[in-house]
Chains A and B, each alone.
Chain A
């Protein structure tokens, strides 16, 4: 059974700091990995998607890496801002034994960026 773990569960940093969020998964048979942002009381917003054949993706101040063989992904946020405060979730997309597809989510890292 695929399990996705995110460490730490919560992180508090001062504004301007560079930071890394970690995501690990137990089964390397994934199609892609997606990072989401969730603000309180809101839905999930897709940040970056890394294909299983890729090593990293970048969007603005965000950089996500994927090491499928070791079951790890990181989300790097440069020059953090208070507006980056949110919960960040990673999810792996796979095909189940029954042939349907699903995303398996980690429980998220709650990031607080202090002014």
Chain B
């Protein structure tokens, strides 16, 4: 079972460069999420997608864009990377609240460790 797959695992960018973090899940989940994890700050939601074609901003969306390409894939794009975006990025998926499996747990990928210099 692959679960939630994130690529790449590591990335180093220079300030101003752009990149896209990829996420795919094979559990037929409708809901997908992007979080960032920083020391002392915990996990913070960047964007959320309830289904294909829909996205909502989370706590810290500035500097990011997302795309829910289909039910399986949810990508996160940094258009012009800044040192403040140095972090570990996690993608997660689940069945949504209100669905038959509305209490299903969130499943996380192994993360992308991004450094912006």
Which residues of chain B are within 8 angstroms of A46 by Cβ–Cβ distance? 105-108
CB–CB B103/A49 < 8 A: yes
Answer yes or no: A89 CB below 8 A from chain B CBs.
Answer: yes
Is chain A's interface secondary structure helix, strand, loop, or mixed overall?
A: strand
Find residues 1-17 in chain B having any chain A CB closer than 8 Å to their own CB. Answer: 4
The size of the chain B interface, using a CB distance under 8 A, is 26
Query: How would residues 104 to 117 of chain B score, 1 for a CB under 8 Å from any chain A CB and 0 otherwise?
Result: 11111111000000
Which residues of chain B are within 8 angstroms of A102 by Cβ–Cβ distance? 33, 45, 48, 58
Least Cβ distance of A4 to chain B in Å? 8
C-alpha spacing A6/B52, complex, angstroms: 34
13 A-B pairs with CB atoms under 8 Å apart are A32-B103, A34-B106, A42-B110, A42-B111, A43-B90, A43-B111, A46-B108, A51-B103, A91-B43, A100-B48, A101-B50, A102-B45, A107-B40
